[in-house]
């Protein structure tokens, strides 16, 4: 009888698993994992990667279909999915070239392209409120349905976003702005269409909004999957070189596109830090190689650029004395009938380099080089919990300056002074709707009304929802100054019979609004209205009961442990450790944010 194999990982997902680093990770993941999933951009990439696995294992490649994620390939325990992770499931196989508007496009082709562009804008910027199955983000869907316990993401996110080249679109928009829209050879309808297409181009290249939408989909997907660890292979954007990098994408040194890539890479890192500080079970790490990653293959043959072989042509000659360098059109030069063939090194996503390009870029005091296997080694050491010192998220965490003893000490003095000034003021100091969000102000005002009507959590917990609702409304209806205060800072007040009181400053929703649903009303009430209806009163009664139960449990444990430091002193008298059940709006809203909104600070530093 053969003993069953014990695996280190159950379900291992490699996003970008067809790339240089992705394949190095894949080789290590296969023997350690029960199931391995890889994601590439195209089916061809995935098939080539699985062919390597298939040759090693002898398992054939089979085509299968997932009910949500669509078709995929599988060989043994390795499954390969493909598509654009920034897009929705239904748009994952649409390439940028399919959406590019050409001058000579017939109207019907142009209309189809513009429909795809509209969907792409919705996907990239997260504009759809309700997402049907086919329009959910592909990356989020992969995480949700594959449920990996480990995710290694080797996609160069910064490159994918920066190389949409927002600066090219900006130049076009600026040129149009300078011309005041005056184009003599265009009909008015054509001018409008040109402007619409330019706006679409801008929306398709908005780098930070695209990054934020991607990060939100990633964070939600990891949470839905219950992933234990997520490791990102990031970038510096410059191969470890500085502002003076000589390898650019234009005449500028460095080019704006390259700096944009570095800026997005830096922004990504801070988003990973925030994810790591989220109140979830996923550990987030980032490895940032700062050298040229090489190599995928070395060979000899035809050199391709943009998927096409470089044709060798005879040049034309012009005299610079004429003061003109005309554009060379297709057919102006003589084709030799030959293509460029020579030795090359395939560096993966950076393409093919010549011998001398490779020699220069990897030389000392240039980018130099790190291998995919080096990176994979660090990734697996970090996954196994062995510190390498290469986790950028951990490095940022270790250098962030957090709360101080002096800050906590002085906070108490500030609160005492504020309470003194509040007593001498004509209005209570509850919320100004400057800090935000409106939900904070709404909860603080509701807690203030309950403080004025019940005073103590125990009294609130013992009251019926009907009584709480009635007393809240009686207080607000009878105190015109308080009603004016709440509505003037932008918070609505909802009466028990469903009537909304508000001023022109209403934050949620922004009037005018027509044709809303019951669900929308409930959402607005949750986000930005002081709600005196019975259902919300029942919610406050439950909160009071839960908060009181927590305070009594804390009191019992502190008494048993002779006042040890195991608990803070919020809600208990620090002198005698008895429960202090006064309704203090700021304290109870803190409790709501932690327990209901899952908004706990997870780092004490």
pLDDT digits (tens, 9 = 90+) for 284-304: 999 999 999 988 889 999 998
**Which residue range forms the structural domain that includes residue 343?**
297-366
Label residue 134 by pLDDT band (50, 70, 90): confident
Tens digit of pLDDT for each residue in 64-90? Answer: 999 999 999 999 999 999 999 999 999
- Give the torsion sign (CA, 138, 143, 146, 151): positive
Band the pLDDT of 5: cuts 50, 70, 90: low
Q: Find out whether 11 and 147 touch, Cβ atoms under 8 Å.
A: yes
Work out the angle between the directed axes of helices 534-560 and 585-595 (0-180°, nearest 10).
90
pLDDT band at 14 (very low <50, low <70, confident <90, very high): very high
Same domain (yes/no): 154, 279: yes
Q: What is the signed CA dihedral for 591, 595, 601, 602, rounded to 10 degrees?
A: 140
Whether 14 contacts 154, CB under 8 Å: yes
Q: Give the pLDDT score at 250.
A: 57
The three-state secondary structure class of 110 is helix
Instruction: Give me the residues paired with residue 560 across strands.
Output: none
Pairing status of strand 33-40 against strand 529-531:
unpaired
Q: Are residues 344 and 475 in the same domain?
A: no
Provide DSSP, 557-568.
HHHHTTS-TTS-
Kindly report the pTM of this predicted structure: 0.88
Among the residue ranges 21-25, 174-178, 487-491, the one predicted with the least confidence is 174-178
What's the pLDDT score for residue 373? 96
- On whether residue 186 sits in a domain, the answer given is no
Residue 133 in this model has a pLDDT that exceeds 70: no
* Mean pLDDT, residues 357-363: 94
Q: How many CA atoms lie within 13 A of 358 on its CB side?
A: 17
Cα dihedral 407, 411, 414, 416, rounded to 10, equals: -150
Q: How confident is the model at residue 4 (pLDDT cuts 50, 70, 90)?
A: low
Q: How many domains does the chain have?
A: 3
Write down the pLDDT at residue 252: 65
Q: Is residue 412 part of a domain?
A: no
The answer to whether the bond into 253 is cis (omega within 30° of 0) is no
Rounded mean pLDDT of 113-140?
89
Are residues 69 and 214 located together in one domain of the fold? yes
Of 348, 140, 158, the closest CA to residue 234 belongs to 158
Whether pLDDT at 321 is above 90: no
| 306, pLDDT greater than 80 | no
Residue 476 φ/ψ, nearest 5 degrees: -70, -40
By three-state DSSP, how is residue 148 classified?
Answer: coil
Q: Do the beta carbons of residue 190 and residue 301 sit within 8 Å?
A: no
Question: How far, in Å, CA of 549 to CA of 543, rounded?
Answer: 10
Does the pLDDT at position 218 exceed 90?
Answer: yes
Q: What share of the chain has pLDDT > 70, as a percent?
A: 96
Q: Rounded to whole angstroms, what are the CA distances from 486 to 84, 214, 422, 538?
A: 47, 36, 17, 22
Nearest CA to 141 out of 74, 69, 231, 228 is that of: 69
| CB-based burial, 198-214: b 16+ in 10 Å, e otherwise | eebbebbbbbeebbebb
Q: How far apart are CA 397 and CA 348, in angstroms?
A: 32
Domain boundary among 318, 347, 366: 366
Examine the pLDDT at 188 and tell me if it is beyond 80: no
Question: What's the pLDDT band for 184 if we cut at 50, 70, 90?
Answer: low
- Contacts of 183 by beta carbon, 8 Å cutoff, 6+ apart: 191, 194
- Strand, helix or coil for residue 270: helix
Same structural domain, 390 and 514 = no
Q: Is residue 330 assigned to a domain? A: yes
In the predicted structure, residue 50 carries a pLDDT above the cut 50:
yes
- E-assigned strand segments in 41-193: 62-66, 70-75, 78-82, 150-153
Question: From CA 271, how far away is CA 456, in angstroms rounded?
Answer: 40
Query: Mean pLDDT over residues 186-210, rounded?
Result: 88
In a domain, 234, yes or no: yes
Q: Which two tokens stand for residue 592?
A: 């709501």
pLDDT of the residue at 183:
55
Residue 156 and residue 264 in one domain: yes
Residue with tokens 């304290």: 587
| Strand, helix or coil for residue 459 | helix
Q: Are 173 and 252 in contact (CB under 8 A)?
A: no
Quote the CA–CA distance of 449 and 451 in Å, as a whole number.
5
Could you tell me which of 220, 269, 102, 235 has the C-alpha nearest to residue 163?
A: 235
User: Per-residue pLDDT for 215 more than 50?
Assistant: yes
pLDDT score at 1: 39
CATH of the domain at 69: 3.40.50.720
- Together in a domain, 467 and 560: yes
pLDDT in tens, 538-594: 999 999 999 999 999 988 888 888 767 777 888 888 778 889 899 999 999 999 999
152 touches 379 (CB < 8 A): yes
Question: Same structural domain for residues 318 and 241?
Answer: no
Report, as an integer, the average pLDDT of 341-368. 92
The tens digit of pLDDT for each residue in 416-459 reads 999 999 999 999 999 999 998 999 999 999 999 999 999 999 99
Q: Please indicate whether residue 351 or residue 139 has the higher confidence score (pLDDT).
A: 139
Say if residues 574 and 566 touch (Cβ distance below 8 Å).
no
The pLDDT assigned to 474 comes to 98
> Are 526 and 564 contained in the same domain?
yes
Domain shared by 346 and 395, yes or no: no
In a domain, 407, yes or no: no
- Percent of the chain scored above 90 by pLDDT? 75
Least confident of 77-86, 190-199, 385-394: 190-199
Give a yes or no: residue 145 inside a domain.
Answer: yes
> Are 441 and 393 found together in one domain?
no
100 in any annotated domain = no
Give the C-alpha separation, 98 to 43, whole Å: 17
Is pLDDT of 12 > 50? Answer: yes
Residues 161 and 235 in one domain: yes
Q: What is the mean pLDDT of residues 174-200?
A: 78
Is 185 inside a domain boundary? no
Q: What is the mean pLDDT of the chain?
A: 92
Inform me whether the pLDDT recorded for 411 exceeds 90.
yes
Question: 432 with 312, same domain?
Answer: no
Please tell me which residue, 172 or 285, carries the higher pLDDT value.
285
Q: Which helix (H) or strand (E) holds 139?
A: helix 138-146
């Amino acid at each position: 009888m053969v003993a069953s194999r014990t695996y280190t990982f159950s379900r291992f997902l490699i996003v970008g698993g067809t790339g240089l680093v992705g394949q190095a990770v894949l080789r290590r993941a296969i023997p350690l994992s029960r199931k391995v999933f890889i994601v590439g951009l195209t089916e061809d990439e995935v098939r080539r990667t699985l062919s390597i696995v298939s040759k090693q294992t002898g398992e054939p490649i089979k085509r299968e279909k997932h009910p949500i994620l669509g078709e995929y390939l599988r060989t043994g325990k390795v499954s390969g999915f493909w598509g654009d992770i920034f897009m929705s499931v239904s748009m994952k196989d649409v390439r940028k070239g399919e959406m590019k508007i050409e001058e000579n496009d017939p109207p019907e082709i142009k209309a189809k392209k513009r429909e795809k562009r509209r969907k792409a804008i919705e996907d990239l910027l997260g504009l759809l409120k309700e997402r049907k199955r086919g329009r959910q983000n592909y990356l989020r869907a992969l995480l949700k349905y594959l449920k990996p316990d480990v995710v290694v993401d080797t996609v160069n996110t910064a490159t994918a976003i920066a190389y949409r080249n927002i600066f090219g679109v900006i130049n076009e928009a600026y040129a149009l702005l300078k011309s005041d829209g005056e184009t003599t050879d265009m009909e008015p309808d054509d001018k409008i269409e040109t402007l619409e297409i330019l706006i679409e181009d801008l929306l398709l290249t908005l780098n930070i909004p695209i990054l934020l939408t991607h990060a939100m989909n990633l964070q939600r997907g990891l949470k839905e999957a219950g992933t234990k660890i997520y490791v990102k292979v990031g970038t510096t954007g410059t191969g470890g070189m500085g502002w003076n990098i000589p390898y650019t994408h234009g005449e500028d040194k460095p080019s704006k596109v390259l700096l944009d890539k570095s800026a997005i890479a830096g922004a990504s890192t801070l988003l990973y830090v925030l994810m790591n500080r989220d109140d979830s079970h996923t550990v987030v790490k980032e490895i940032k190689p700062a050298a040229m990653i090489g190599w995928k293959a070395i060979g000899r043959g035809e050199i391709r650029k943009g998927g096409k072989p470089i044709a060798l042509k005879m040049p034309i000659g012009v005299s610079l004395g004429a003061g003109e360098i005309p554009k060379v059109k297709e057919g102006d030069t003589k084709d030799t009938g030959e293509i460029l063939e020579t030795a090359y090194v395939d560096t993966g996503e950076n393409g093919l380099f010549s011998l001398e390009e490779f020699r220069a870029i990897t030389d000392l005091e240039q980018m130099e080089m790190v291998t995919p296997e080096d990176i994979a080694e660090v990734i697996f050491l970090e996954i196994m919990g062995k510190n390498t010192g290469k986790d950028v998220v951990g490095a940022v965490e270790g250098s962030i300056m957090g709360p101080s003893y002096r800050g906590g000490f002085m906070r108490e003095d500030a609160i005492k002074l504020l309470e003194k000034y509040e007593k001498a003021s004509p209005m209570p100091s509850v919320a100004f709707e400057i800090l935000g969000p409106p939900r904070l102000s709404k909860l603080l005002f509701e807690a203030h009304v309950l403080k004025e009507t019940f005073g103590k959590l125990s009294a609130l917990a013992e009251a019926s929802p009907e009584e709480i609702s009635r007393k809240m409304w009686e207080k607000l209806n009878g105190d015109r100054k308080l009603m004016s205060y709440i509505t003037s800072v932008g918070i609505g007040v909802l009466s028990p019979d469903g009537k909304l009181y508000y001023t022109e400053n209403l934050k949620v929703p922004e009037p005018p609004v027509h044709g809303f649903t019951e669900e929308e009303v409930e959402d607005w009430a949750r986000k930005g209205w002081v709600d005196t209806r019975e259902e919300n009163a029942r919610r406050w009664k439950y909160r009071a009961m839960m908060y009181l139960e927590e305070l009594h449990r804390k009191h019992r444990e502190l008494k048993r442990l002779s006042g040890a430091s195991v608990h803070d002193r919020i809600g208990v008298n620090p002198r005698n450790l008895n429960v202090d059940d006064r309704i203090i709006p700021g304290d109870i809203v803190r409790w709501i944010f932690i327990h209901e909104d899952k908004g706990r600070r997870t780092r004490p530093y």
